[in-house]
Structure 1
Amino acid sequence: MDSSHVSALQLKHAGLERQIHEEMSRPVPDAVVIQALKKRKLRLKEEIGRS
């Protein structure tokens, strides 16, 4: 995989991290949303690792 693809994946990963942090900062975090975001983030991390 080329470095621009890896960079794009890393940007998405950072964006998901930010979304998780924002959701957890809410007065009543939505556990379902957080779980879904974490799963997406893990898939991205695995894809980056394969690159």
Structure 2
Amino acid sequence: MFVTLRRDPGRARRLHELEVAVAEAPSIEDAQRASAEIGSLLDAARREVAA
């Protein structure tokens, strides 16, 4: 799945931005929002791999 994410430059960039956002989040709510979006990216990649 991570290869699928990293293969697309836009998604790879967004994943990195979200990882940084989680690490530097000023609140748990901000970290949860970024984590949820990471989960969405992973779900989409999982679907692509399964297709």
TM interval, shorter chain, is: 0.5 to 0.7
Supply the RMSD in Å over aligned alpha carbons: 1.8
What residue is the counterpart of 2:28 in the other structure? 31
Identity of aligned residues (%): 17
Q: TM-score, normalised by structure 1?
A: 0.63
Q: TM-score, normalised by structure 2?
A: 0.63
What residue is the counterpart of 1:11 in the other structure? 13
Measure the CA separation in 2 of the matches of 1:21 and 1:50.
Answer: 26
Matched length: 42
Larger-gyration structure (1/2): 1
Instruction: Pick closer, same or farther for the CA change 1:10–1:48 going to 2, 3 Å.
Output: farther
The answer as to whether partners of 1:16 and 1:37 remain within 8 angstroms in 2 is yes
Runs of 4+ in 1 over 2 A off after TM superposition: none
> 1:49 Cα shift?
2.0
Measure the CA separation in 1 of the matches of 2:27 and 2:11.
Answer: 25
